[in-house]
């Protein structure tokens, strides 16, 4: 039986790499990103059934459309909360962080994943393989100058993941730090820096596929 995954932030980086990995493994997909043209390019290259819906995960109606699309494919078996923002490029120090940008950082990295999880939970509970995969960061557990807003948001998402795992024992809830990768987000964190030595996002996809197949206990993992 074909399994279905909802992946946010799937137009580039790790989100796109995960979409390709899951599609190749036979999953049907509902994918999201803010840039319609980039999302369409990813969707066109996927060898599977895919519903691509451009939009912002902080928008209530957009999140509802993602959940509805998954339902039309038979219901979600996996939710991947990957969409993220730093709050600036480079991300500002906490003492100078514009509050509207800090609010957006928490809306994208914490509120939106929780809100989308709420919508998709009824489908996940019906699945034999129901799982929530929240993308974390080492900045959630280590203090790095300039990463306060993003790190605090990811730490909050980690904690929310742990609580959800207790509240939903029939599901798997994983928070995964994928490591430093060669992504647009990493480049935005260090404008002008050479990040060519960072691994490509595709390098960690086998870890995630193995995670889904072996289904270890809910918790925090490092790819």
Catalytic positions, please?
A: 150
Phi, psi of 115 (to 5 degrees): -65, -40
Phi, psi of 34 (to 5 degrees): -80, -30
Helices 60-72, 112-126: crossing angle, 10 deg rounding: 20
What sign results for the dihedral spanned by CA atoms 105, 82, 5, 72?
Answer: positive
HSE, side-chain direction, 13 A CA sphere, residue 184:
12
Torsion from C-alpha of 15, 32, 146, 182, nearest 10 degrees: 30
| Contacts with 59 (C-beta within 8 Å, 6 or more apart), sequence order | none
């Amino acid at each position: 039986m074909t399994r279905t995954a909802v992946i946010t932030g799937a137009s580039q980086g790790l989100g796109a790499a995960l979409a390709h990995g899951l599609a190749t493994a036979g999953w049907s997909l509902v994918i999201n990103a803010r840039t319609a043209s980039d999302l369409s390019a990813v969707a066109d290259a996927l060898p599977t059934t895919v519903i691509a819906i451009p939009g912002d995960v902080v928008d209530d109606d957009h999140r509802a459309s993602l959940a509805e699309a998954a339902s039309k494919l038979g219901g979600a078996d996996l939710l991947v909360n990957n969409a993220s923002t730093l709050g600036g490029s480079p991300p500002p120090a906490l003492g100078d962080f514009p509050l509207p940008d800090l609010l957006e950082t928490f809306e994208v990295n914490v509120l939106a994943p929780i809100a989308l999880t709420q919508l998709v939970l009824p489908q996940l509970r019906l699945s034999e393989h129901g799982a929530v995969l929240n993308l974390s960061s080492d900045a959630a557990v280590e203090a790095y100058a300039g990463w306060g807003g993003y790190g605090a948001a990811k730490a909050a998402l980690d904690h929310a993941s742990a609580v959800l795992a207790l509240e939903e024992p029939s599901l798997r809830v994983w928070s995964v730090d994928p490591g430093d990768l060669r992504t647009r987000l990493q480049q935005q964190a260090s404008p002008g820096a050479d990040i060519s030595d960072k691994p490509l996002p595709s390098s960690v996809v086998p870890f995630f596929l193995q995670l889904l197949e072996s289904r270890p206990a809910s918790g925090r993992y490092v790819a």
